[in-house]
Structure 1
Amino acid sequence: MCSSISSYTMKTLVLLFILIGLSNSRIYSASIYGYPGSFNVLDYGAAADGITDDSQALLNTWNDACSSSAGYPQVIIPPNMIFLLSPMTLIGPCNSQNIYFVVSGSLVSPSSPSVWTGQDSSQWLAFRNVSGLVVGGSGTIDGQGKEWWDQSCRYHPELDGCTRLAPTALKFIFCSQSSISNMYFANSAQTHILIERCNGFNVNNVMIQSPGNSPNTDGIHIQASQNVAITNSKISSGDDCISIGDYSSNVQIYNIQCGPGHGISIGSLGKGGHSAQVSNIHVNNVFFYGTTNGARIKTWQVGRGFVRDVTFENLQFNSVKNPIIIDQHYCDVRGACKETGTGVQISNVVYQNIYGTSITDIAINLNCSMSVPCTDITMQLIQLTPATPGKQVKAYCKNANGQEYGIEPGPCLSGV
């Protein structure tokens, strides 16, 4: 039986996150009592009325905190106030080993897409090149995405000038040894949190909420990042609760509630013939409610590279459409992509201790490539039943090799 990350590594990660949490508590408490390294956005002219643009005030606050020689500088967004912010990027590196961004109030996006005219429409708020960043404070980040959704090409392809790209609420780019915790996210125009090209990042105790029919509103997307942990969080969205993109490794996902949404997905990978490299992914203790997918791996046939050393365990499904799915034939238009001789190699994937209900008749669907089949798949202690009494569920495996024990429905894999 494989283990995605060694026991020693896991214990080290857990200890690190406990220490970060204790440090966070000390700093947040200090801010209440006027810690001398505090930089309050109100002191820099923020109106905090939800109408006036407070972007410049926040930028000036950040610049002073980032350049401060204080041991633990902190940007303070005070409670019971609303701060309207235009698209902006907060840039490091900063002078201190850690910088704290304490959000106790509400950060609100402009509601009109016209604000982004001439700007990068893929982002609203971003941190870039910051090491030791700690974001938290029980506040709210509201993307006010409805006007973006109403002109989305996904749901309104006939609309002249429909939108394919909309702002991510919060991006972390090149932010190492950093974290975000105890935050509430609502109604991002597109993805809520993006972790891109980061090494050492922890997301803990966040709540993400957007309508199940909101287009492309992934909860958290991880891209080209290593040593990431997402824990103790609740995600409701119109796309993947959590998605893992190319060149990501050593990812721990633990104790998550997902739904509505599209499940937890690795991919899609390999679009346009790109080479994928994803490894050491561990998804543990997740409850899926009413999602379109559960544990999913999706790759394009034209892709190359690999997905390997993945574990999905201790999962519960309640009325999920595709509880367990591998799709190596992922395509923009279902069935429109022809079979190719290439593919992303999927190997050493473990599914164990999984139970719940499926609303479709195929509860286990491993649709692997003829040219690059799935290998070393292990399934054990799986019990999936129909959500509607009296119906039946089945398993479908194509070009999937491995071993299975105690599976219902099954058997499925080749080489048992």
Structure 2
Amino acid sequence: MKYCHISALVFCIFFLSLIVSIQARHHFHQKHRHSHSHSHKSSKTPHNFTFDVTKFGAIGDGITDDTESFKMAWDTACQTESQVNIIIVPKGFSFLIQPTIFTGPCHGYLVLKVDGTIMPPDGPDSWPKNNSRRLWLVFYRINGMSLEGSGLIDGRGHKWWELPCKPHRGPNGTTAPGPCDSPMAINFFMSSNLSVQELRVKDSPQIHFRFDACRSVHVESIHITAPRLSPNTDGIHIENSSDVRIYNTVISNGDDCVSIGTGCYDVDIKNITCGPGHGISIGSLGKYNTRACVSNITVRDSVIQMTDNGVRIKTWQGGSGSVSGITFSNIHMDNVRNPMIIDQFYCLNEGERCSNKTSAVVVSDILYTSIKGTYDIRNPPMSFACSDTVPCTNLTLSDIELLPDQGNMVLDPFCWNAYGDLRTLTIPPVFCLLDGFPQSILHNDIAHCSRDS
């Protein structure tokens, strides 16, 4: 009987141990399955989690479709309740990603750390038939995200640029009819508190970065490249966005280095190296008789080299609204064809749409200060071509020194219906600005734009 009691006691201990062991393993597997073996708490920051896309099945051989693995990593990180969630795209791999929308809002701040290479399908023939040809990577409704890393986003745009409909730029170039949509590489839409830094991005089929309906955007130390003749490959395009800072960035491409569309205000662009390409542009604005509002834009401490334009404001005939409170400061021009240009007759050879109209986007309060360097003598170094019916007003020039890169100086900057003044003497001299303020727009209501416009 004594031995029976001992045996029963041993059995009970063994049974309890077994239950504890099973529960522990069950708890481990539940936690393991929930995290996909993806995360560990950082030794420095206990509220950070990391999610390596290869742990979600991404192969990274440049051939296998890794889209679903990226989506799983994104969704898991987005739904994890921690302060910071870091998605790792590791070095040494090339990941093929189909056109995809990464959606929020997410529980914590997201970091997409790209140390490897990300690329889309190779050209129009490889693009998924049922997917939009306008977009590739879309980040939608994100509040708090950083896109960063030492890697490369390769847009593989060469086959898109050679579509028959594209504007070929050789002397015998032609443009054929047909579908011409090409995807923009990276799109942020209706998002806020965004940071993009340190990445290399190249050869987008169309625009490289687009920020639409975003606020609090910080772009820092990125490098964007595409061939000089690649069509519509803007570096960074912003639209309907505010509190945007673009700093310490190098952009060379086939279109605008930075383009600013309607609905933008409080934009600061500093220490940009731009060129070749089409320069830094506000616009085009007012196309198809639309209303456009842009204000409080600063471009400063930058270099623009071997571009078609330097700093440009371009609007279509027939638009309404205003561009105001613009400062171009401390900019060095190196062999730029049109260093300083306002073009209120912007047109892409679209027949009747290019005819003069009685309305225009009002351009006012534009300051050019400390703009120096060289220009291509095929065009005047300064051109202010303003609407016949809605003049440009309060253009201010200070400390302008522009000399020909080769040949003789063009002594006649061009002005048309442009009102402003000179704070200092300019090189070359500017005599064509009109004094005062035109009576024709003193009571022009279309000039007024609120930030809710």
- Tell me if both proteins adopt one fold, taking TM over 0.5 as the criterion: yes
Q: 2:133 aligns with which of 118, 121, 135?
A: 121
Q: 2:336 aligns with which of 303, 310, 320?
A: 320
Q: 2:236 aligns with which of 200, 203, 220?
A: 220
Give the secondary structure class of the aligned counterpart of 2:373. strand
Deviation at 1:31, TM superposition (A): 9.9
1:295 and 2:311 equivalent? yes
Give the secondary structure class of the aligned counterpart of 1:230. strand
1:125 and 1:32 map into 2 onto residues whose CA distance is: 31
Give the secondary structure class of the aligned counterpart of 2:408. coil
2:71 and 2:43 map into 1 onto residues whose CA distance is: 19
How has the CA–CA distance of structure 1 residues 86 and 335 changed in structure 2, closer, same or farther, with 3 Å as cutoff?
A: closer
1:347 and 2:364 equivalent? yes
Moved more, 145-154 or 383-392: 383-392
Q: Is the 8 A contact 1:185 1:192 kept in 2?
A: yes
> Aligned ranges for residues 8-407 of structure 1 at < 5 Å?
37-96=49-108, 98-114=109-125, 115-151=127-163, 153-155=165-167, 162-333=178-349, 337-359=354-376, 360-404=378-422, 405-407=424-426
Q: Is the 8 A contact 1:363 1:393 kept in 2?
A: no
1:325 and 1:162 map into 2 onto residues whose CA distance is: 33
1:82 and 1:349 map into 2 onto residues whose CA distance is: 46
Match of 2:434 in 1: 414
The unaligned stretches of length 5 or more in structure 2 are 1-40, 437-453
Deviation at 1:154, TM superposition (A): 3.0
Deviations 1:346-402 (A, max 9, x none): 000000000111112411000001211000110111011111133435311111101
Q: Is the 8 A contact 2:166 2:175 kept in 1?
A: no
1:330 and 1:348 map into 2 onto residues whose CA distance is: 20
Give the secondary structure class of the aligned counterpart of 1:221. strand
1:296 and 1:52 map into 2 onto residues whose CA distance is: 43
How has the CA–CA distance of structure 1 residues 111 and 357 changed in structure 2, closer, same or farther, with 3 Å as cutoff?
A: same
Give the secondary structure class of the aligned counterpart of 1:362. coil
Q: How many pairs are equivalent? A: 387
Q: Which amino acid aligns with 2:426?
A: I
Q: Which amino acid aligns with 1:397?
A: C
Q: Is the 8 A contact 1:152 1:163 kept in 2?
A: no
Moved more, 336-345 or 319-328: 336-345
How has the CA–CA distance of structure 1 residues 338 and 31 changed in structure 2, closer, same or farther, with 3 Å as cutoff?
A: farther
Alignment RMSD (CA, Å): 2.0
1:287 and 1:162 map into 2 onto residues whose CA distance is: 38
How has the CA–CA distance of structure 1 residues 217 and 393 changed in structure 2, closer, same or farther, with 3 Å as cutoff?
A: farther
Deviation at 1:134, TM superposition (A): 0.9
2:224 and 2:82 map into 1 onto residues whose CA distance is: 33
Match of 1:24 in 2: none
Give the secondary structure class of the aligned counterpart of 1:57. helix
Deviation at 1:155, TM superposition (A): 2.4
Give the secondary structure class of the aligned counterpart of 1:406. coil
Deviation at 1:124, TM superposition (A): 0.7
Query: Normalising by structure 1, what TM-score?
Result: 0.89
Deviations 1:56-94 (A, max 9, x none): 000000000000012211111011111111110100000
Deviation at 1:34, TM superposition (A): 11
The unaligned stretches of length 5 or more in structure 1 are 1-28
Q: Which amino acid aligns with 1:87?
A: P
